[in-house]
Amino acid sequence: MKKNDLHLQEELLRIYRIPPSREKTAFFRSRRWRSAYEKAFLSPEAAPGISFPEFLRIQAGYIRLRNWFFSLGLFLAVLLFSAENIRAAGIDSRQFLGALSACIPYLALTTIAEGSRSARFGMDELEMHTRFSIHSVICARLFLAGALNLIVLTALIPFLCTAWGTGPAVTSGILLAPYLLTCTLDLMILRRSRNRNSITLCAAAGTGVSAGCLVLSAAGPAVYGVLSHAALPAVFLLGAAAALELRKYLRQSEESIWNYTSTV
């Protein structure tokens, strides 16, 4: 607290003249408190408390292994194809980055698919009555899968810059723009159609973005010139759009909880 705030605090305490509590110790030693505490925390039927890191750890266990493997596989593949002897075999940096950017939308698709599993399998009503709300479960899973992808992509940017000699702006654009665009489109689709078929539409959107990346990379070196100027603004814009869509998606899940509980 600042000096002025401390002075105000002292003055307020003087004005309100609050006497100290006299029953605190007696209350926390009383039988009434102890029995309530034991019933809440120590009895077998009491749900044990859980910390936030512990909650994330539990949710990480429910993310399918193929998601982790896909992210790490992509990372290792980039390392492998960036080896000097493979580069010397004649792979063009434009071709390589084009192929890589075409894979990125599927990375986004695996993350988004993880957040919509409950809706796809028709389990969302059941999960609304479980220990953790579906809202916090979705948040935790999207956070974990998204954090891993972010780490992978962030680690790849400086590596690709040095290995393939592309500028940081172009590399960031190639890696992040398809990822964020797919996230935005997939979340938009999931928000509008909450059923089993929604993931097919998401996959179609991801494939569309992937195809777009391949077309752009095949278009010629001029595209990279344009990309170097437009990459960072595009990444920021797409990032904002993805964040907005995520917010709407999570809000909608809150609303569906509210709608459901109000009808019980």
Partner 1 sequence: MDLEQYYDDIYRYCYLRLNDRHAAEDMAQETFLRFLEASEYRDMGKPLAFLYTIARNLCIDYMRRYSNRPDRVSYAEDPEIFPAPSCEGALTDSLALAQALRQLDDADREIVCLRYINEVPVSDIGKIMNLSRFAVRRRLNRSLKLLSGYIKKEDF
User: 3 or 221, CB closer to partner 1?
Assistant: 3
Contact 223, 217 (CB under 8 A): yes
Q: Which is nearer to partner 1, 3 or 24 (CB)?
A: 24
Rounded Cα distance between 112 and 59, Å, is: 15
Cα–Cα distance measured from residue 231 to residue 150, given in angstroms and rounded to the nearest whole number: 17
Tell me if 264 contacts partner 1 by CB under 8 A. Answer: no
Among positions 123-142, residues that touch partner 1 (CB under 8 A) are: 131-132
Say which residue the tokens 């960031």 belong to.
172
Residue from 42, 50, 72, 215 that binds partner 1 (CB under 8 A)?
A: 50
**Token pair of 80 as six digits:** 């492998």
CA neighbor of 175 nearest in space, from 226, 220, 116, 239: 239
The residue among 17 and 263 lying less far from partner 1, judged by its C-beta, is 17
Piece of 5-13, 101-109, 190-198, 249-257 that binds partner 1 (CB under 8 A): 5-13
The stretch among 27-35, 105-113, 186-194, 219-227 that binds partner 1 (CB under 8 A) is: 27-35
- Cα-based angle 129, 132, 135 (whole degrees, multiple of 5): 90
188's tokens = 């938009």
Number of amino acids touching partner 1 (CB under 8 A) = 32
CB 242 within 8 A of CB 108: no
Among 44, 52, 84, 89, indicate the residue that binds partner 1 (CB under 8 A): 52
Q: Indicate which single residue of 2, 3, 31, 40 sits in contact with partner 1 (rule: CB under 8 A).
A: 40
Q: How many residues does the chain have?
A: 264
Q: Is residue 64 part of the contact set for partner 1 (CB under 8 A)?
A: no
Which of 48, 221 has the CB closer to partner 1? Answer: 48
- Residue 113 CB-density burial (10 A; 0-12 exposed, 13-18 middle, 19+ buried): buried
For residue 23, state whether it binds partner 1 (rule: CB under 8 A). yes
Does 62 bind partner 1 (CB under 8 A)? Our answer is no
One-letter amino acid of 239: G
Q: % helix / strand / coil in the chain, to the nearest 5? A: 80, 0, 20
Of these, 32, 61, 84, 88, which contacts partner 1 (CB under 8 A)?
32
Contact residues for partner 1, defined by CB under 8 A: 1, 5, 8-9, 11-16, 18-19, 21-24, 27-28, 32-33, 36-37, 39-41, 47, 49-52, 131-132
